[in-house]
Amino acid sequence: MRTVRKLFYGGAASALLLATSIAQADVTVLGWPGGPEETALRAATEIYNARSEVAEDDKVKLIFFSRDGFFDKLQADLAAGTDAFDANLLATYSIGRYAPYMTPVSLSGDAADVFGESVLKTMQFDGKQYGVPTDLSLHFLYYRTDLIEELLADESAAAKYGDISEKHLGVRLEPKSPDDWTWQDFAANALYFSKSVNPDSPTRYGTVLQLKNLLFNIMVFHSLPRSYGADWMDADGNITVDSDAYREALKMYKILVEAGATPKDSFSYEYAEANSAFGSGQVAAMIQWNAAAADLTDTEKTPVTADVTKTIAPPTGPDGRFTHVHGLGLGVNANGKNPDGAKAFIEWLSTEDAAKAYALAGGATGLTSSVVSDIANERPDLVPLGEYASNYGFVMNGGTSAKALSVYELQAKEFTDYLSGGKSLDEALSATKDGMADLLN
Amino acid sequence: MTRSTENRILATPLVLFLLVMLGFPTILDIIYSFSEVSFENLRSPTFNGGRNYISILNDPEFWSASWFSMKFGLATAFAECILGLVLAVYLAPIIRKNTWMIAVLIMPMMIAPAMMGLMYRLLLHEFVGALPHYMFYWLGDSPAFLSRENVFTTVFTIETLQWTPFAFLLFFMAYEAIPGEMREAAAVDGARGLRMFWHIEMPMMLPTIAVAFFVRFIDGFRVFDNIFVLTGAGAGGATTSLSIYIYLSFFRSGEIGNAIAASVILFCVSFLALFFAGRLLRRSGA
Determine the residue of chain A that is closest to B133 in CA distance.
A280
Higher pLDDT, residue B192 or A41: A41
Average pLDDT value for residue range B172-181: 91
Among A223-232, B88-97, B253-262, which range has the highest average pLDDT?
Answer: A223-232
What would the pLDDT profile of B270-281 be if each residue is shown by its tens digit? 888 888 877 877
DSSP per-residue letters across B98-165: -THHHHHHTGGGGS-HHHHHHHHHHHT-TTT-HHHHHHHHHHS----TTSTTTHHHHHHHHHHHHHHH
Which residues of B lie closer than 8 Å to A, measured between beta carbons? 39-43, 121, 124-128, 142-148, 151, 230-238, 248, 251-254
pLDDT at A248 over 80: yes
Optimal mutation site among A204, A267, A273, A405, interface B, most CBs of chain B within 10 A: A267
- Which residue in the set A264, A273, A405 is minimally distant from B144, CB to CB? A264
Q: Do B248 and A417 touch (CB under 8 A)?
A: no
CA distance B65 to B14: 36
Average pLDDT, chain B: 89
Higher pLDDT, residue B283 or A109: A109
What does the pLDDT read at residue B277? 77
CA atoms within 13 A on the CB side of A427: 10
Average pLDDT, chain A: 90
Cβ(A135)–Cβ(A364) below 8 Å: yes
To which CATH superfamily is domain A139-324+400-440 assigned? Periplasmic binding protein-like II (3.40.190.10)
Q: Are strands A25-30 and A87-91 parallel, antiparallel or unpaired?
A: parallel
Determine the residue of chain A that is closest to B231 in CA distance.
A268
Q: Do B125 and A276 touch (CB under 8 A)?
A: yes
What would the pLDDT profile of A6-43 be if each residue is shown by its tens digit? 544 555 544 444 444 444 458 999 998 877 889 999 99
Burial class for A411, CB neighbours closer than 10 Å (0-12, 13-18, 19+): buried
Optimal mutation site among A98, A196, A213, interface B, most CBs of chain B within 10 A: A213
With H, G, I as helix, E, B as strand and everything else as coil, classify residue B46.
Answer: strand
What would the pLDDT profile of B234-267 be if each residue is shown by its tens digit? 999 999 999 999 998 887 777 889 999 999 998 8
Q: Do B251 and A72 touch (CB under 8 A)?
A: yes
Confidence of residue B200 (pLDDT cuts 50, 70, 90): confident
Q: What is the largest CA-CA distance in chain B?
A: 80
Cβ(A390)–Cβ(A401) below 8 Å: no
What does the pLDDT read at residue B282? 76
Average pLDDT value for residue range B193-199: 85
Q: Do B236 and A75 touch (CB under 8 A)?
A: no
Residues of A in contact with B148 (CB under 8 A): 267, 420-422
| Topology, domain A2-136+327-394 | D-Maltodextrin-Binding Protein; domain 2 (3.40.190)
Q: Do B146 and A268 touch (CB under 8 A)?
A: yes
- Which residue in the set A212, A213, A265 is minimally distant from B147, CB to CB? A265
What does the pLDDT read at residue B270? 82
Residues 84-113 of A with CB under 8 A from B: 97, 100
To which CATH superfamily is domain B59-283 assigned? MetI-like (1.10.3720.10)
What does the pLDDT read at residue B284? 64
Cβ(A241)–Cβ(A433) below 8 Å: yes
- Which residue in the set B42, B124, B233 is minimally distant from A213, CB to CB? B233
- Alpha-carbon torsion angle A73, B56, B78, B224, nearest 10: -10
Higher pLDDT, residue A239 or B7: A239
Average pLDDT value for residue range B80-105: 92
Average pLDDT value for residue range A151-163: 93
CA distance A306 to A145: 10
ipTM above 0.90, yes or no: no
CA distance A282 to A298: 17
Residues of B in contact with A422 (CB under 8 A): 148, 235-236, 238
Residues of A in contact with B42 (CB under 8 A): 76, 79-80
Higher pLDDT, residue A15 or A171: A171
Chains A, B: CB contacts within 8 A come to: 93
What does the pLDDT read at residue A18? 44
Cβ(B125)–Cβ(B117) below 8 Å: no
From the CA of A64, how many Å to the nearest CA of chain B?
21
Higher pLDDT, residue A1 or B28: B28
From the CA of B34, how many Å to the nearest CA of chain A?
20
From the CA of B132, how many Å to the nearest CA of chain A?
11
Whether chain B has a CB inside 8 Å of the CB on A82: the answer is no
Determine the residue of chain A that is closest to B239 in CA distance.
A213
CA atoms within 13 A on the CB side of A112: 4
Confidence of residue A262 (pLDDT cuts 50, 70, 90): very high
Q: Do A409 and B248 touch (CB under 8 A)?
A: yes
Rg of chain B in Å (alpha carbons):
24
Q: Do B235 and A280 touch (CB under 8 A)?
A: no
Whether chain B has a CB inside 8 Å of the CB on A254: the answer is no
What does the pLDDT read at residue B35? 93
Whether chain B has a CB inside 8 Å of the CB on A268: the answer is yes
Residues of A in contact with B233 (CB under 8 A): 213, 413
Cβ(B258)–Cβ(B38) below 8 Å: no
What does the pLDDT read at residue A25? 52
CA distance A117 to A305: 36
Q: Do A422 and B148 touch (CB under 8 A)?
A: yes
What does the pLDDT read at residue A347? 96
Residues of A in contact with B43 (CB under 8 A): 80
Average pLDDT value for residue range B184-190: 85
CATH 3.40.190.10 boundaries in chain A = 2-136+327-394, 139-324+400-440
Q: Do A422 and B232 touch (CB under 8 A)?
A: no
Residues of B in contact with A264 (CB under 8 A): 126, 142-144, 147
Q: Do A267 and B231 touch (CB under 8 A)?
A: yes
pLDDT at B97 over 70: yes
What would the pLDDT profile of A297-312 be if each residue is shown by its tens digit? 889 999 999 999 999 9
Residues of B in contact with A257 (CB under 8 A): none
CA A429 → CA A227, A240, B50, distances in Å?
18, 10, 30
pLDDT at B149 over 50: yes
Determine the residue of chain A that is closest to B148 in CA distance.
A420
pLDDT at A324 over 70: yes
pLDDT at A362 over 90: no
Whether chain B has a CB inside 8 Å of the CB on A76: the answer is yes
